[in-house]
Amino acid sequence: MTPLVRPTAARRGRTPAHPGAATAQVQSLTRGLAILQCLARTEGGLTLTDIAHRVQLPPSTTHRLLSTLEKTGYVFQAGDLGLWYVGIEAFTVGSSFLANRDFVAQSHAFMRRLMEQAGETTNLAILDGTEAVFIDQVQCRETMRTIVKLGSRVPLHASGVGKAIFASLPDDRIDAMLKIRGLPRITENTITSPETMWASIRVIRQRGWSFDDEEHLPGTRCVAAPFYDEHAEPLGAISVAGPLSRLSDERIRQLGPLVSHTAEEITRRLGGQWPHPH
């Protein structure tokens, strides 16, 4: 019996794919995404030179990647200086995240009610790595109000939503984050001592809400509380933020329980479970 021999790619007349081709494609994708992230995290546009410097790529490579992204609508170039900006397709992709995260829609009514009760802007943020990312906001009616850009990031140790999420994590995870990121100073009020941060975490856990006292932005105060999923793990945090002139110590003490109660309502609405005290 003649043995069955399957023809190789060469016998079939095809050239085997070069092993480095896939790697090059992945590298190009990674670099393109790095450019998108660079533009997304910058207020206003950037020149080709600025982008190349920030993503640490040669200008020629950066221009080639930008041209590809421009053809697909993910970036565009405008203005006399030829600045590059995030395009409409990037917005479309980002919006689909919010559309598919049902808790954002379900939380919005609670945020609006909280804004009416507090008279200040309310925010919703989620945990991403070692940072909190703002994904929803209800602005208050005051002329002077605190506004954050959706998609912007804040450190966990120096923001109201960040500290609320931080305190809801297990001790070993907090300890690992502290070792990785440390406690860099952002303002004169930023907590930079691990001992002070652990003390703050214990207080947040005990009372159910966090307090940002100009630790991320001078002149701004914030009160926040986490909400949880069905496994009693933090989904994110909601906050009330406003100028120091309106958020006195007495007002902060009034808002803390209100924000915490709203976070509990959101948790129940989502079918979540409030964790047992640490």
List, for residues 71-111, the tens digit of each pLDDT value: 999 999 987 788 999 988 887 887 666 555 577 888 999 99
214 CB-near residues (< 8 Å, 6+ apart):
187, 188, 189, 220, 221, 244
What's the mean per-residue pLDDT of the chain? 87
Q: In this prediction, what percent of the chain has a pLDDT beyond 90?
A: 61
Q: Which domains does the chain have, with CATH numbers?
A: 20-91 (1.10.10.10), 101-269 (3.30.450.40)
The DSSP symbol for 142 reads -
Query: Quick one: which H or E segment has residue 153?
Result: strand 153-155
Of the listed ranges 19-33, 90-104, 167-181, 227-241, the least confidently predicted one is 90-104
Q: Is the pLDDT of residue 190 over 90?
A: yes
The alpha carbon of residue 33 and the mean position of all alpha carbons in its chain are separated, in whole angstroms, by: 16
Percent of the chain predicted with pLDDT > 70 = 88
Entry pTM: 0.66
Q: Look-up: residue for tokens 């209800």?
A: 138
